[in-house]
Amino acid sequence: MIRHVVVFTWSAAADARRRATSVQALRRLRQDVGGMLALVVAEDAGLSDGNGDVVLIADFPDVEAFYRYAQDPVHVAVIAEHVRPWLAARSAVQYQI
């Protein structure tokens, strides 16, 4: 199994409405793209300074499923429309469970 973890930090241009819209678009990826065993998209609880704003954690049965997801046109469109224009920073890791 492959776990994909992404931490997003929004830019100052991303107001509360924009952030909420982006989080909802990310949460729909499980139904709109599929291939995942699990998906969590959560906003930071604000307990420590310097944290990212949102985390996405997705589990895939294998590497091939992750690559299908990463290249899926719906996923690519969500990132292009709802994430990339509003990002200050992004960090990701994929690892085997």
pLDDT of residue 57: 98
- Rounded to two decimals, what is the model's pTM? 0.94
| Mean pLDDT (10-residue bins), the chain, 97 residues | 98 96 97 95 96 98 97 97 97 97
| Cβ neighbours of residue 8 closer than 8 Å, sequence gap 6 or more | 52, 53, 54, 55, 56, 83, 87, 89, 90
Rounding to the nearest 10 degrees, give the CA dihedral for residues 16, 77, 89, 1: 110
Length of the chain: 97
Question: What are the pLDDT digits (tens) for 55-82?
Answer: 999 999 999 999 999 999 999 999 999 9
Sign, CA dihedral 31-61-73-19, equals: positive
Q: Which fold has domain 2-96?
A: Alpha-Beta Plaits (3.30.70)
Domain boundaries, the chain: 2-96
Cα–Cα dist 57/31, whole Å: 15
